[in-house]
Amino acid sequence: MLEIKVGQGSCGISAGAAKVYDALQAALDADVKLSVTGCIGMCFLEPIVDIYDDGKLTRLVRVQPKDAQAIAQYLQTGDEASVASLKISAEDSAFLDKQTRIALRNCGLIDPENLDDAVAHQGYAALRKAVTEMTPEEVIEEIKISGLAGRGGAGFPTWFKWNAARQSTGSPKYLICNADEGDPGAFMDRAVIEGDPHALIEGMLIGAYAIGAAEAIVYVRAEYPLAIKRLEKAIADASAAGYIGEHIFGSDFSCGFRIKAGAGAFVCGEETALIESLEGQRGMPRLKPPFPAQSGYWHKPSNINNVETFANVAWILNNGGEAFAAMGTEGSKGTKGTKVFALTGKIKRGGLVEIPMGKTLRDVVFDIGGGMRGERNFKGVQLGGPSGGCVPLAGIDTIIDYKALSATGAIMGSGGMVIMDEDTCMVQMAKFFLDFTAKESCGKCVACRIGTKRLLEILTRICDGEGREGDIELLEELCSRIKENALCGLGQTAPNPVLTTIRYFRDEYEAHIRDKRCPAGECTALVRYSIDADKCRGCSLCSRKCPVNAISGEIGKPFSIDSDACIRCGQCAAVCKFGAVRKG
């Protein structure tokens, strides 16, 4: 049967996919099935239209509404010339070909709002197997064999958390999904919920069965309206089909399911702060112990994992824990299976990448991601968001697992990868993430509340050209004190961007402080524009574009810039056709 699928994750919709869908609906014959799917991960090619004809896939990329007629013509005549310019290139196809997709296995393939489509792709088969053929202990053992570790950042063994909650006394028990994805540049969990909400639901129900929970709760940030909409639809459909509720698959297992929309506080990514928010309190971390497995939501035994962790569970039960464990590396915790990363920043192919543990950063950045945009030089990658650290070019061959990344000073985190090129100022980058963590601090402990603010003040002073001798040492000392004394993971890891940029790019800090110069030319206060007299043709275009009349000269002769009057807006450099304006 002929079927056309239009990718409508948030990235696709923002690129115009909804308009493409409407245009195709108007242009196609009534006998052509037109449906929606989620993000397949190739965000850099959106909007994406997939044509399935008797099992054959034709993928069209960067499709616009005006292309609908050409697509209709292709379907009617088979003339490939009409869509030749839209077909995905072999080079871009390699983006997916080089991945191993488990958590994202159905994203971009199924209609996320169609339960039958999910069931046709093994949806709820693992849940049926778990509740009708396995004991809760056997489920936990299979997860133990798989080596699945929490994909939210800490890499804690999933089976251990499940087992601790199962063995805890107290009733009722709760199974909670942390979908409060707050790292700048991270969108893995959103893509899973938007593209395959039933994978999350099924994984959570299996987890609830394993620990003996009577209710499953998804804590998702309110800034994810499409994810919430599709998850609500999936919950309603699964409930109507008997996959949620009383006596699931005729067993003794019953479980309710609901969503809690959070206000988007970054600190609520910490599990005890999330529980506080879930209870209606201000999101602030609790002291541990007791751990949530003993005293969590409403002080009852609770288990919390993130979206990606749960998205792996059904696959593991369907394929066996050993199959999952066969992917990955030996020798450190949390190195089994695959990991999803969100590639953003100065990279050619931005989007979602799922790879087996054990690949290198080079594999992801250059082999899959295609390297730098504009053929610029790679400078570093920020891993783990504001809680993570920067890995420079010298570390590009670092193995992707928890132990190897920790040795660089970075962390895997939830999977954000922000790629930076030679034009990125590393002091500014550290300042950006400290600005974020300082604003997101809950304020409960002094180390985080005051410490991050002091770090930000010093970084701001350095970027403004007012850095002083001793600032680098002061930053290092403050970072050490914050890491030692902060109450929760947000504060303990907040100094990481500062420490890793000082570790690998100390010369940039020194240039800012001692030379009052930003090597990347990104700090406005430290940028100076000048005109190369040998290159200047005296056309006066720069002078005419200068908003403050800081450029003067005579037609046909070299012009000059008054540095005191210059506001460093960069207009002169942008309009010069001869490369005469220098930035330094």
Q: What is the DSSP string of 254-272?
A: -BEEEEEEE---GGGGSHH
In the chain the domains, ranked by start, together with CATH numbers, are: 2-91 (3.40.30.10), 115-325 (3.40.50.11540), 338-421 (3.10.20.600), 426-514 (1.20.1440.230), 528-583 (3.30.70.20)
Percent of the chain clearing pLDDT 90 (strictly above): 85
For 106-162, the pLDDT digits (tens) are 999 999 999 999 999 999 999 999 999 999 999 999 999 999 999 887 788 999 999
- Taking residues 160-188, what's their average pLDDT? 93
What's residue 331's pLDDT?
Answer: 54
Whether the CA torsion 220, 222, 226, 229 is positive or negative: it is positive
Ordered alpha helix ranges (H), 254-347? 271-278, 307-319, 321-325
89: buried, middle or exposed (CB in 10 Å: 19+, 13-18, 0-12)? exposed
What's residue 334's pLDDT?
Answer: 54
| Cα gap 391→362, rounded to integer Å | 11
pLDDT greater than 80 at residue 264: no
| Cα gap 438→455, rounded to integer Å | 9
Name the CA radius of gyration of the chain, rounded.
26
Query: Given pLDDT bands bounded at 50, 70 and 90, which one contains residue 184?
Result: confident
357: buried, middle or exposed (CB in 10 Å: 19+, 13-18, 0-12)? buried
b/e 188-219 (16+ beta carbons within 10 angstroms → b): bbbbbbbbbbbbbbbbbbbbbbbbbbebbbbb
Ordered alpha helix ranges (H), 443-546? 446-463, 471-485, 489-493, 496-514, 541-545
- Taking residues 550-560, what's their average pLDDT? 94
What's residue 239's pLDDT?
Answer: 98
Amino acid at 211: I
In DSSP terms, 552 is beta-bridged to 560
Give the residue from 478, 378, 398 showing the smallest Cα distance to 430: 478
Q: Could you tell me how far CA 545 lies from the centroid of its own chain? A: 39
In DSSP terms, 149 is beta-bridged to 157
For 311-336, the pLDDT digits (tens) are 999 999 999 999 999 997 765 445 78
- Length of the chain equals 584
- Specify the residue for token string 């393939």: 109
